[in-house]
Structure 1
Amino acid sequence: MSTRTKTEVSHYHVQKRRRAQFIEDWRKNHLTVVRGTDVALHQTARGLRTGVFTGADGDRPTRSMDALVHEIDPGVTSTLHRHSWDAMVFCVAGNGWFEIDGERIDWGPGDSLHLPAWSWHRSGNDGTTTARYLTFSSQPMLETMGMAVIEDAGNTPVAELPPRPPYSPGIDGDDPYARRLRRLARDQQARRSGRLHTSWDDLELVNTPRGTRTTFLLDRAIGYQASGITMAMFEIAPGRGQSMHRHPGEAWLYVVEGKGHSYLGAEPEGGENHPWQKGDIIVVDHYLWHQHINDDPENTAKVVRIHMFDSLLETMRALCDPLVLFEEPPDHIRDAQAGDPTTVDWPELHRPTWP
């Protein structure tokens, strides 16, 4: 069998055209703010109504994360499934529960959960009102590598389902193979024992030099073991803004409460302002300078930020070194933009409401 390549042009021309086409297609699909009111929900075979903020299944392709919204009616239990990627959940309205590998976790508005890769999971609603939650997953990144796999189990009893994929324990020895077995076994042990739930009632927001107060929702710093997605929430004081900065990778901000606008531009000046309100997702991409401003003179704005940090961004940092991949203005400019958060009379923290 011949292995001769017959493209009729050099690999240089093929790669150059392919790269140019990729960027052209990518820019066509890029949106800066996805309005919550523009996301259509569809009834699915799982028993949920699901809509896509960002992701190929909603014709808004992304490269590392997707963002979906789900509603489940009173008395409904979804089917079981699992997948090779993990997902973060932020609960918006109603009260419901998740079952993760047979463990039930009840949740309310403002709670967040982690669905580990290959864990069997489903959701249910035992209440009297519709429950609503968002999911943010690493599915696009795994699909890029050809490793995105999903398995649907319908209503099969949990006791009859296979466990997560097995792995070999470590072995003695100082050779490369023994080292790899031990290293990967330790990693799997850690990932399968990570935290699964953060209750809104346990949150404590802390002032930051960027003019906001903030807290982790899902992150390795508070015991989660994920594929690199991190979820935090920050609160912007009335009439104030978060200081400007920029970084690579996809960062999404779901507006939990409030209204405002975000500055996005290739330079710290001369960019565009993009308005947002409760229920929208702000898409920060392309290494843009950005700043988020609360336009309400009386009420704070709460925003949940989702970023693929530990895996993708850390890899990019290594590959792009010595290029600086996180930039802020000098401290005196940052402080002038942000203001002193200790001078703000921050309100008591209450669970979010919908709509």
Structure 2
Amino acid sequence: MASRTTTETTHYHVQKRRRAAFLDEWKGYQKTVRRADEVGLSLTARRTRVGVYTGIDGDQPTRSMDALVHEIDPGVTSTIHRHSWDAMVFVVAGNGWTEIDGQRVEWGPGDSLHLPAWSWHRSGNSSASVARYMTFSSEPMLATMGMSVIDDRGDTPVSELPGRPPFSEGVDGDDPYARRLRRLARDQTARRSGRLHTNWDELELLQTPRGTRTTFLLDRAIGYQASGITMAMFEIGPGRGQSMHRHPGEAWLYVVEGEGHSYLGTEPTGGVDHPWKQGDLIVVDHFLWHQHFNDSATDTAKVVRVHMFDSLLETMRVLMDPMVLFEEPPDAVRDAQAGNYHEIEWPAVHRPVWER
């Protein structure tokens, strides 16, 4: 028997209403700065406390990335789990360790770690004070595609846990299937051999024309194999500002040290200044002009920047060409905004101190 659709309106009208309703709802989720004081932490079944800066589990929905804060008390070890997405970790305070597929990585304030997709991991606090760290993950992106999966095994020894999902090795042949097998095997082999840890003491910050000095924390340029998330840190000199720019997609900026404000607006002028301080998360919504300023006349400000550049933003740039999706002012305007950054007297790089 033939079946027929029974909607009373056309496909065109249904999709038009659906898209309009989605955009109206999403505008209500737009944020500017998430204050550290606004993020409550709750004890979880993993024996850790967790708070949500951005993410649907904290009633702050996002589309590509989330940002969570975690605390572990002295002597506590979390349960072991894995998930289908990967995550990046930035340690705020305390000393401890994270075990990734049986490999133990010791960490302290300012260190960064990568937790690959489907890797078993747990963390422990080996210090006498509370350990605190941020995580940034691609879970919202995978949830959109129906591929977000988590597997918690409590205190099961690593030796008794299954490995990451198996994959087929490449085979000979020039047909499309053989090419796909070889391509995916190469990709998985590379992703399972990427770097896992950046030690703060090994960082070198370099000056840029935008008026800051910067360094990669987690990025393919320094050996990481992430699912498009990249994490870098920039430092703003006393009384200085970073030059203005804009781009699509979500970007998170976590304030490691210092205090200042950020300009956010749909145009280079006429926007709003948003103050921030240590522990806050600056939320740069899609395609907003933004510029970050250090309000201290004596101390620098350090900010960790996270976005999905190597996946979401690169894909958008290809799909929407010839539209310009990363935009800065002309060089003369950029240089005027950055000032003579060669005159900045940068201090020695020291591990961050949590003062909240």
Structure 2 distance, partners of 1:118, 1:286, is 29
CA-CA distance at 1:258 after TM superposition: 0.7
Say which SS state the counterpart of residue 164 (structure 1) adopts. coil
1:41 alignment counterpart = 41
> Can you list the C-alpha shifts for 1:310-343, whole angstroms capped at 9, x where unaligned?
0111110111111110000000000000112221
**How many angstroms does 1:126 deviate by?**
1.8
SS across alignment from 2:304: strand
Say if 1:317 and 1:325, in contact at 8 Å, map to a contact too.
yes
Contact 1:245 1:328 in 2 (8 A): yes
Amino acid at match of 1:198: T
CA distance in 1, matches of 2:292, 2:215: 17
TM-score by length of 1: 0.99
Corresponding residue for residue 311 of structure 2: 311
Deviations 1:231-267 (A, max 9, x none): 0000000111000000000111000011111001111
CA distance in 2, matches of 1:267, 1:72: 42
Alignment match, 1:134: 134
Q: Percent identity, aligned pairs only?
A: 76
**How many angstroms apart in 2 are the aligned matches of 1:298 and 1:138?**
37
Match of 1:196 in 2: 196
**TM superposition shift of 1:5:** 1.9
RMSD across aligned C-alpha pairs, in angstroms? 0.8
8 Å CA contact 2:31, 2:285 repeated in 1: no
Alignment map for 1:221-232 (pairs within 5 Å): 221-232=221-232
**Does the CA-based 8 Å contact 1:63-1:140 persist in structure 2?**
yes
Residue 219 of structure 1: how far off its partner (Å): 0.1
Q: 1:66 & 1:200 partners in 2: Cα distance?
A: 23
**Number of the residue aligned with 1:87:** 87
Aligned residue type for 2:92: V
Residues 94-147 of structure 1: per-residue CA shift (max 9 Å, x gap): 001000000000000000000000000000012211100000000000000110
Measured in 2, the distance between the counterparts of 1:254 and 1:4 equals 52
- Separation (CA, whole Å) in 1 of partners of 2:3 and 2:332: 62
Partner residue in 2 for 1:160: 160
- Residue segments in structure 2 that go unaligned for 5+ positions in a row: none
- Within 1, Cα distance between the matches of 2:256 and 2:283? 15
Partner of 2:178: 178
Aligned to 1:115: 115
User: Is the contact between residue 261 and residue 274 of structure 2 (CA under 8 Å) also seen in structure 1?
Assistant: yes
Mapped to 2, the partners of 1:71 and 1:294 lie a distance apart of: 28
Distance in structure 1 (CA, Å) of the matches to 2:36 and 2:196: 26
Secondary structure in 2 aligned to 1:321? Answer: coil
SS in structure 1 of the partner of residue 64 of structure 2: coil
Distance in structure 1 (CA, Å) of the matches to 2:238 and 2:277: 14
Partner of 2:27: 27
The residue aligned with 2:220 is 220
Letter aligned with residue 14 of structure 2: V
Counterpart-to-counterpart distance in 2, 1:305 and 1:93: 18
Q: Residue 147 of structure 1 corresponds to which residue in structure 2?
A: 147
How far apart in 1 are the matches of 2:4 and 2:31?
42
Alpha-carbon shift at residue 2 of structure 1 (Å): 5.5
Q: Equivalents in 2 of 1:128, 1:188: separation in Å? A: 39
How far, CA to CA, are the matches of 2:353 and 2:111 in structure 1?
A: 12
CA separation in 2, counterparts of 1:5 and 1:214?
57
Query: Hey, what's the Cα distance between the residues in 1 that align with 2:24 and 2:199?
Result: 42
Corresponding letter in the other structure for 1:259: E
**Displacement, 1:25?**
1.1
Aligned partner of 1:347: which letter?
Answer: P
1:255 corresponds to = 255
For residue 11 of structure 1, what is the amino acid of its counterpart? H
Residue 21 of structure 1, CA deviation: 1.0
| Equivalent residue, structure 2, for 1:64 | 64
1:154 partner SS: coil
* C-alpha contact (below 8 Å) 1:256/1:278 kept by paired residues: yes
Could you say which residue in structure 2 is the equivalent of 1:18? 18
Quick one: which amino acid aligns to residue 151 of structure 1? D
**CA distance in structure 2 between the aligned counterparts of 1:95 and 1:157, rounded to whole angstroms:** 23
Tell me by how many angstroms 1:27 deviates. 1.0
What CA deviation, in whole Å up to 9, does each residue of 1:128-184 have, x standing for no partner? 111000000000000001100100111111100000000000011111111111001
Aligned partner of 2:6 in structure 1 is 6
Mapped contact 1:90–1:113 kept (Cα < 8 A): yes
- How many residues align? The count is 355
1:236 aligned to 2:244? Answer: no
1: distance between equivalents of 2:111 and 2:193? 20
Q: Secondary structure at the match of 2:153?
A: strand
1:323-334 equivalences under 5 Å are: 323-334=323-334
**1:191-211 CA deviation, whole Å, 9 max, x = no partner?**
000000000000000000100
| Residue in 2 that maps onto 1:77 | 77
Deviations 1:5-35 (A, max 9, x none): 2221111111111111111111111111000
Task: Find the counterpart in structure 2 of residue 347 from structure 1.
Answer: 347
